[in-house]
Structure 1
Amino acid sequence: MATTTTGNSSSSDQKSTTSPLMAKPTSNQRLVSKDGRSLLRGPAAGGRATWVGALRDMWGAWLSLRWRWVVLAFCGSFLLHWLLFAVLWYLLARANGDLGVDHDNPPPGHTLCVKYVTGFTAAFSFALETQLTIGYGTMYPNADCPTAIALLALQMLLGLMLEAFITGAFVAKFSRPQKRYSGILFSPQAVVSEVESQHCLMFRVCNLLSRPLVDVCVSAVLYEERDDMTLHQTSLEFLLDGLGSRPCPLFLSPLTFIHPLTPDSPLNRVLTPGSQSHFEVVVFLSASQEGTGSAYQKRTSYLPDEIQFGRRFSKATLLRGNERRNSAEAMRYFDTHLCSLTAPNSRDKECVVQINGEGNDKME
């Protein structure tokens, strides 16, 4: 099923801000970067509209911030909270006449609201002690001053809300699925070769995580620029070698995903020799970690110049449990070699996965 996004043919600048594919094709224009970052940007909104949108979705805006801004906001929010209540405690002491009296021997009939709050520095120290429940024992609110007790309750309530929000935001930012994909690698190039006399588009995925992943699913979308200045998106189905369309129950390493270039495939037309179509294949991978159930998500994309014809992936040997896993060593899984696209070619028999030297599973 294809979905069409219509561009504005009256202005090339508007088209370029709507989608990189709708501008003049270059090797650097894409919707999704190789490491999965979205490069699509909508029309620039005004400053007021941007702030209003951020306020309406404060949680999403917070999670989208970079870590340096999150840490800055964390420190700034607590400093502002302490400063605010330091001012309130200072104003309370000033209104009650506590600044100019001897707190060890107050005048008869004078009720101190906060003991030993004699200036703004002392008020700030008291606000800090109250929020962090340090309790050094020198300064304390007087139970005979109802205003001080009410202000103390207000500071504690707002402080607990602030701490709960900051803690939840830190946990949510740490647990975002797209931040846990550093150990999942896509092949930098996709290949087109024959599998059982059928031309197929293939890419490979490698898992460098210390724990295996389960329930691995892959989906893909073809974004294509048409001559009528529209951007079409069409879903593509990739099959896992040996498992078909079923999710992979255990992702060790590596996996090869195949899309047959049948006459009904939307890729069959754009991948024909001499085609000038500008397109991008965006691949989405989702999986769960065994034991914890934590979600993992990663995506990448392939442009026309990143698809190699007449090549196939070389044999892949699974890393043993005690072998070191790193990106440099994993890149050998993405090596390709020449193959024929004209003669019938059976499924690749050269790629063998060995687990601790026992058992062989043939795979692409």
Structure 2
Amino acid sequence: RSRYRGGPGNAYRKYLQDLFTTLVDIQWRWTILVFALSFLMSWFTFACMWWLIAYTHGDLEPENLKPDSGWTPCVDNINSFVSCFLFSLETQHTIGYGGRATTEECPEAVITMCMQSIWGMMIQAFMVGIIFAKMARPKQRTQTLLFSRNAVICQRDGQLCLMFRVGDMRERSHLISASVRAQMIRPRATKEGEYLSPFLCELDVQVDDYNSNIFLIWPKVVVHKIDASSPLYTLSAADIIHERFEIVVL
């Protein structure tokens, strides 16, 4: 449950208000399920509307279904709900088999056809955008980025440094102008006795002579100098072993 200024509210409602991002973030099986259900529900809803139009106009009466009755229906070759469902599918996706088509007899049929055509294009644009955004996310790209198993503290140019290595497994699509950041997360107590947990400290890192931008054509060593501005400066070797903290690399 979540609370906001207007009173208590349901947390799920917040996710539904940002439906596009929610559908991009959820697992693939749920995205595919929503993809299929959106079309099925649209076909079924408009099939009911086509059936109501045919029923109220009298197109489904047995005497009007005869070929020689001379009756002009709202939609040709509509004789059951199944045929209405097929016509709904054909209209929304412009399949056009040629057996069923609207006539000039019923203005409501023409309006419904226009509504379904517009609605069908909106669903397709929305769902294609979700699938494309989901496939274009760089989430899986991180699977080919490797970090060294251990980070070490040693001297470089006479100064203590925290160092770790990062590399890219791909040989043809290299990361250009990639940036690397490091943050130290640990609890902290203020002078007023307030306990801050977690408390984030930014670690200044550099690769070679660059500040944080790297070109991963080969493995690189990321270096953080432990100087007076570093949150590690006041920690001894024993403190590092017993201190509770975590370093997150972005």
Q: Give the structure-1-normalised TM-score.
A: 0.61
Q: Indicate yes or no: 2:182 matched with 1:217.
A: no
Look up the match of 1:32.
none
Structure 1 residues not aligned, in runs of 5+? 1-43, 285-364
Q: Residues 102, 240 of structure 1: CA spacing in aligned structure 2 closer, same or farther, 3 A cutoff?
A: same
Q: Indicate yes or no: 2:198 matched with 1:235.
A: no
Q: Describe the SS at the equivalent of 1:266.
A: coil
Look up the match of 2:229.
264
Structure 1 residue ranges, 4+ long, deviating more than 6 angstroms after superposition: none
- Amino acid aligned to 2:65: D
Give the Cα separation in 2 of the matches to 1:222 and 1:274.
15
Percent identity between matched residues is 32
Q: Give the structure-2-normalised TM-score.
A: 0.88
Give the Cα separation in 1 of the matches to 2:117 and 2:187.
57
Task: Give the alignment's Cα RMSD to 1 decimal.
Answer: 2.0
Look up the match of 1:77.
38
Q: Indicate yes or no: 2:85 matched with 1:124.
A: yes
Q: Residues 136, 191 of structure 1: CA spacing in aligned structure 2 closer, same or farther, 3 A cutoff?
A: same
Maintained 8 Å contact 1:86/1:124: yes
2:166 aligned to 205, 209, 215, which one? 205
Maintained 8 Å contact 1:111/1:145: no
Aligned residues: 237
Give the Cα separation in 2 of the matches to 1:158 and 1:182.
39
Look up the match of 2:69.
106
Give the Cα separation in 2 of the matches to 1:216 and 1:51.
35
Look up the match of 1:252.
217
2:101 aligned to 132, 137, 140, which one? 140
Q: Indicate yes or no: 2:133 matched with 1:172.
A: yes
Offset, 1:180 = 2.3
Offset, 1:246 = 5.4
**Where does 1:41-56 land on structure 2 (aligned, <5 Å)?**
44-45=1-2, 49-56=10-17
Give the Cα separation in 1 of the matches to 2:149 and 2:56.
69
Give the Cα separation in 1 of the matches to 2:50 and 2:107.
13
Q: Indicate yes or no: 2:51 matched with 1:90.
A: yes
- Structure number with the bigger relative contact order (C-alpha 8 A, sep ≥ 6) is 1
Q: Indicate yes or no: 2:152 matched with 1:185.
A: no
- Amino acid aligned to 1:196: D
Higher helix share: 2
Give the Cα separation in 1 of the matches to 2:2 and 2:149.
35
Give the Cα separation in 1 of the matches to 2:20 and 2:235.
41
Q: Describe the SS at the equivalent of 1:202.
A: strand
Q: Which moved more, 1:47-56 or 1:257-266?
A: 47-56
Offset, 1:128 = 0.9
**Where does 1:239-318 land on structure 2 (aligned, <5 Å)?**
239-241=206-208, 243-245=209-211, 247-248=213-214, 250-270=215-235, 272-275=237-240, 276-284=242-250
Maintained 8 Å contact 1:226/1:277: no
- Amino acid aligned to 1:277: E
Q: Residues 96, 125 of structure 1: CA spacing in aligned structure 2 closer, same or farther, 3 A cutoff?
A: same
